[in-house]
Amino acid sequence: MTEDAGYRPAPTGSADHNFENASNPLLLPSPRIGRGAGGEGRTSANLWSASPAGSEGHPILMLVTEPHPHLEIIVSQAVMGGVDIVQWRDKDAGARPLPSMLRQAAWPALLIANAPAEIAARLGVDGRHLPEQSAVTVAEAREALCPSARVGRSAHSIAAAVAAQAEGADYVIAGTIFASRSHPEIAPAGLEFLREVCEAVSIPVIAIGGVLSERVADCLGAGAAGVAVLSPILLAADPCAAATEYRLALDQALERLRQEWKP
């Protein structure tokens, strides 16, 4: 991996050090827009009540990975294009070598592992992502890494999202929102489901499942703090350009929503 490929070395130190210094939206409250918890519509006065960062709120762009022979190069390019969080996922992680340069490739994005604690620790990640049905608690996942580790959970129902927040999750990934290439067998839950999840919790909600760049505005309009993407970036001929397209779509959508809510 070369400088031209977007490689930027991570600073030395523990995962705790890396996380505390990462420039990442999960260090800030969610830029939630739309309807507030309990279903009441937000007014211009309380639009940013869930986010003291106010107009500095930043939509989240998460890249979810799968095994790929050039994964570290793809991740580095995607981060250059605007990815904030990299969720590393490999269901057969114990059967193949770990990507030894992933931490460096992902810097300065937040690196989250959807993997057991021992593998997450070996990768030097900033946090873990837990499936909805995982028996591992958020507290256990955080304790296995460091006190400041960010831990999220998938939620395929409103009850699951509420439960994740109650156990201390930093965010939830809600889906599948649209028909998905990676999970074609799953019926999409739709934007109304996303809106209901966002109304039910106050932590960031990240929409996943068939979220093309032209759909990110609908997701933010439903209250999502951002989107998670797999194939459109991971399999793109130019991952940096693909990520940039999403980043621009997110930022433009947020700006339009701000304008709509101006007094």
pLDDT-based confidence at 181, cuts 50/70/90? confident
**What integer is the mean pLDDT of 139-145?**
95
Please write the tens of the pLDDT for every residue from 81-128: 999 999 999 888 776 788 889 999 999 999 999 999 999 999 999 999
Q: Answer yes or no: is pLDDT of 46 > 50.
A: no
Bridge partners of residue 188, in order along the sequence: none
Please write the tens of the pLDDT for every residue from 13-24: 333 323 333 334
The reported pTM is 0.80
User: Cβ of 66: how many Cβ atoms within 10 Å?
Assistant: 14
**What integer is the mean pLDDT of 32-39?**
34
pLDDT-based confidence at 48, cuts 50/70/90? very low
What pLDDT is recorded for position 67?
Answer: 92
Instruction: Give the range among 30-39, 42-51, 185-194, 201-210 with minimum mean pLDDT.
Output: 42-51
Mean per-residue pLDDT of the chain? 80
What pLDDT is recorded for position 57?
Answer: 66
**Top CATH class, 58-260:** alpha beta
Tokens of residue 36, six digits: 């507030």
Measured in whole angstroms, the distance separating CA 115 from the mean position of its chain's CA atoms is: 16
88 touches 113 (CB < 8 A): yes
Cα separation of 207 and 34, whole Å? 15
pLDDT-based confidence at 56, cuts 50/70/90? low
Cα separation of 51 and 46, whole Å? 10
Instruction: Give the range among 27-41, 59-73, 161-175 with minimum mean pLDDT.
Output: 27-41
- The CA-to-CA distance between both ends of the chain, in Å, stands at 49
Where are the chain's structural domains?
58-260
